[in-house]
Amino acid sequence: MKIARIDTHSVKVPYTFGGDHKGEGLRTWTTNNILLVRVETDNGIVGWGEAFCYACTDAVRAAIHNMIAPIAIGQDARDIARLSYDLQQKLHLFGRYGITIFALSGLDIALWDIAGKAAGLPLHRLLGGAGRDKLPAYASLLKYRDPEKVAARTKLAVDEGYRHVKLHETEEPEVKAARLAVGNDIAIMVDTNCPWTPEQARHMTLKLRQYDLYWLEEPIFPPEDFTAIARLREGTGVPMAAGENNCTSFQFRDMFAAGAVDYAQPSVTKVGGVTEFLKVANLADAAGVTLMPHSPYFGPGFLATLHLLAAHGGPGGMIERYHLDLEASLYGELVMPVDGGFVVPTGPGLGRDPDPDVLKTFGA
């Protein structure tokens, strides 16, 4: 069974989140952007993957078509681990992290979808999972910079059944507002997205510690300064989470060796796909670090994360879900929470193919 064809499909779905679409960084985001990777074998099996894209869609798409496809087409679709290694080795000149690995992740996820379909098994069964039918989740709020809006949205998430809520804020008033809105029985996490120097991070962490954070996420720039994160963790006693910006298991190995985190957050669309994610999960287990996947996605990456966490035998772990409302869904109800959790797909492979009507309507 050989890889016969690799295509990409860009999908942009408008969303609302109870706040204003304000520009930050590269542009103003008014749509949820998904880059799908479609792989077809010579015997007609089609698999779907997702490569991290957001504002770098064109670059990732070019890497898939110009760098990855020429090597992958004609290769054995069943030999996923070897192909992953081969692609990483042959393309290392263009960077071990970032765009190249995002693109490789999309192909890898699609190949695992094919493997499940060929075997007639859902991915979590193929990986040895016991078949958990539901996974706990947490609401991942977008950035508001407004204490009143943060409080209202946090309370809404709790009313919907979530018991864990993550903020994307960097100031104390917003964190305080969330805690006061829901009391002490709800877990509050704060993802800062790498804004501070080590000293700034120490100052802010000590200010936020009084709000009993379940974890503080990526407080330091650059995110790969694992030694600085470890010092912050040890010096403040606040649990730390990181890993969404790590690519390949080697960066996780170094992060664990530094003693930097309590929660490891591999992102299947960034880290190298299912193949590399499995390596990270094993390293986390060996290091005594809780696996907490980064998964604010709505394409195949989200489904893959459901299967990977369902198959993981270690303790803990929750599914991250952006707390927003999409105009349309590629997977219908599968991306909708049920009492603060998500149902694990039971169909072969990832469990469901993207809705062709949504692909047509929101393709870009």
Is the pTM value of this prediction over 0.85? Answer: yes
Q: Which CATH architecture has domain 125-352?
A: Alpha-Beta Barrel (3.20)
**In sequence order, what DSSP letters do the residues of 350-363 get, joined into one string?**
TS-PPPHHHHHHHB
Q: What is the pLDDT of residue 364?
A: 85
Give tens-digit pLDDT for 214-251: 999 999 999 999 999 999 999 999 999 999 999 999 99
Task: Answer whether the bond into residue 337 is a cis peptide, omega within 30°.
Answer: no
Give tens-digit pLDDT for 161-217: 999 999 999 999 999 999 999 999 999 999 999 999 999 999 999 999 999 999 999
The C-alpha torsion from 226 through 232 and 234 to 240, rounded to 10°, is -70
Q: What percent of the chain has pLDDT over 90?
A: 92
Q: Where are the domains of the chain?
A: 3-120, 125-352
Q: What is the pLDDT of residue 339?
A: 87
**In sequence order, what DSSP letters do the residues of 4-44 get, joined into one string?**
EEEEEEEEEEEEE-SS----BTTB---EEEEEEEEEEETTS
Give tens-digit pLDDT for 147-163: 999 999 999 999 999 99
Q: What percent of the chain has pLDDT over 70?
A: 98
Counting every residue, how long is the chain? 364
Cα–Cα distance for residue pair 342/135, rounded to 1 Å: 5
What element of type H or E holds 250? Answer: helix 248-257
- Quick one: 3-120 is in which CATH superfamily? Enolase-like, N-terminal domain (3.30.390.10)
Cα–Cα distance for residue pair 26/20, rounded to 1 Å: 16
Mean pLDDT of 268-296: 97
Rounded to the nearest integer, the mean pLDDT of the chain is: 96
Residue 318 CA neighbour count, 13 Å, CB half: 20
pLDDT at 27 over 90: no
